[in-house]
Amino acid sequence: MKTKRTLKSSLFLVLLFLIPVLKVKSQTWAVLDSVFNTNSVTVNDYDFSDNGTYGTIQVGWGYRYTSDAASTWSPYKDPTPSYAMFTCFNFYGSQTTVYAGTDRGFYDKSNDGGTTWTQGPQLFNYTCYINDIDFNGNNGITVTSDGEVAYTTDGGGNWTTLATRPNGSLAAITTLEMPSSTIAYMGGSGLFMKTTDGGQTWADVTGGITSGSISSLSFSSVTNGCAVVYPGGPPNQLWKTTDGGTSWTQISTVPLVSNEIYCVNNNLFFAAAGDNIYKSTDAGSTWTIQYTGATGCNPHGLKFIGASGYALISASGGTKIVRNFNLLSSVSENILPESIKIFPSPATNKITLETELSAKSNTVSILNIQGQEILKQVVTTTKTVIDISDLSKGIYFIKYENENGSDTQKLIKQ
């Protein structure tokens, strides 16, 4: 799973409206070219590679792509080779490999950043919309508008479509989060479910949440996450869990009812509501306006890829992708004054931690997927090499902490 998530609801555009640069709270969000060049088009999703070089965006029945970090975009193109409408994107594997769900029950795959496409297998009925595709390691899951689910254990080489719908109904699954190779959450129309075996079986995890539809879902770890619930009528509700969905607590402190949520880590949340993007550094207890736009700008489609933050901004019937190159860099300053780098991931034998050591006491811990500490050591230099050769293959979490705060990052051991 990349650190990204976007709302999968469709947006209907009537007019083209250019927002040259949106300056918000001392940070600049720049428009990534004019990607919408036709009237009355529908926008479902977009995505970028981890390094931000390659990107794809669905525009109406077609799409556009970039291979130069959005300095320029391709002309409007029809999806190929099937001419089915793209519904979602996920860059996974290499920087140029991207999967695109379609409205015909199969996905297309591109190995060159969106320039050319190959049709994948027919996973679902030809009338199904694939609403989301997510990967973690070699495991992946895809979900549809008819409540169907398929999973892969070999990086998309082969897929298994579940014989029965997990929810037992045609209720649409609209959002999917896969924080580990085995654990994933999905939500939609009257359903909220969790898998612990990579998508093969699912169980209800509403855990006291008001009945309704899950419109946005974000997990920062296998246990900690948030959900936006539409209870059948306005306003929306924002809920959080710290135990993997066993129990939920409603967050009632958001100044405006959130339409979308993104959890960067266990304490740092972003919520899109009204004309603003709100930020909380204490797991939703208090919020501040971090970014704001013109009346009716309706920020949505929040994604965090690498150090950059992305969003869709609307005004007067038009929409643009905007990007802040240093969003997570500036955000991390509210958690730890120093910058933390842990690399590589995936890793085989060793990882390296680089930090500025601004505090007196610094430690790094490795936690397994159950949250159990399996290694801990004191950090005394700005560059620390940690031997992980004895660890089994799988997902781990690296926690760096000192008196200023903590930062947790995911590690894949190969």
Query: Using one digit for the tens of pLDDT, what is the confidence trace for 194-252?
Result: 999 999 999 998 877 877 888 899 998 888 899 998 888 778 888 999 888 888 988 88
Pairs from 279-284 (Cβ < 8 Å, separation ≥ 24)? 279/331, 280/253, 281/334, 281/335, 283/240, 284/226, 284/238, 284/240, 284/251, 284/253, 284/254
The whole model's pTM is what? 0.74
Question: Residue written as tokens 């489609």?
Answer: 301
| Tokens describing residue 15 | 């007019």
Domains, the chain, ordered by start:
11-332 (2.130.10.10), 340-413 (2.60.40.1930)
Handedness of CA 216, 175, 247, 208 (dihedral sign): positive
pLDDT at 331: 43
Bridge partners (DSSP) listed for residue 400? 364, 407
Mean pLDDT of the chain: 79
| Tokens describing residue 402 | 């000192």
Query: pLDDT digits over 294-323, tens only?
Result: 666 677 788 877 667 788 776 555 667 777
Decide if 261 contacts 403 (C-beta within 8 A): no
Binned at pLDDT 50, 70 and 90, residue 189 comes out as: confident
Handedness of CA 43, 218, 214, 107 (dihedral sign): positive
User: Regarding predicted confidence, which is higher, 8 or 100?
Assistant: 100
Binned at pLDDT 50, 70 and 90, residue 330 comes out as: very low
Cα angle 201, 207, 208 (rounded to 5 degrees) comes to 150
Burial environment of residue 115 by CB neighbours within 10 A (0 to 12, 13 to 18, 19 or more): middle
Q: Which residues does 164 contact at the CB level (< 8 Å), separation at least 6?
A: none
Per-residue burial over 274-295, b if 16 or more Cβ lie within 10 Å, else e, is bbbbbbbbebbeebebbbbbee
Binned at pLDDT 50, 70 and 90, residue 4 comes out as: very low
pLDDT at residue 34 tops 80? no
Decide if 56 contacts 320 (C-beta within 8 A): no
pLDDT at 201: 97
Q: Please state, for a pLDDT cut of 70, what percent of the chain lies above it.
A: 77
pLDDT at 340: 75
Decide if 22 contacts 66 (C-beta within 8 A): no
Dist CA 124 CA 147 (whole Å): 10
Find the radius of gyration of the CA atoms of the chain: 20
Query: pLDDT digits over 48-98, tens only?
Result: 987 788 999 888 788 889 998 888 888 888 776 677 889 999 998 778 999
E-state strands within 35-138: 42-43, 46-48, 55-59, 62-66, 86-91, 98-102, 106-110, 118-122, 130-136
Decide if 38 contacts 75 (C-beta within 8 A): no
Dist CA 80 CA 84 (whole Å): 8
Binned at pLDDT 50, 70 and 90, residue 332 comes out as: very low
Q: Comparing C-alpha atoms, which of 68, 67, 63, 115 is closest to residue 89?
A: 63
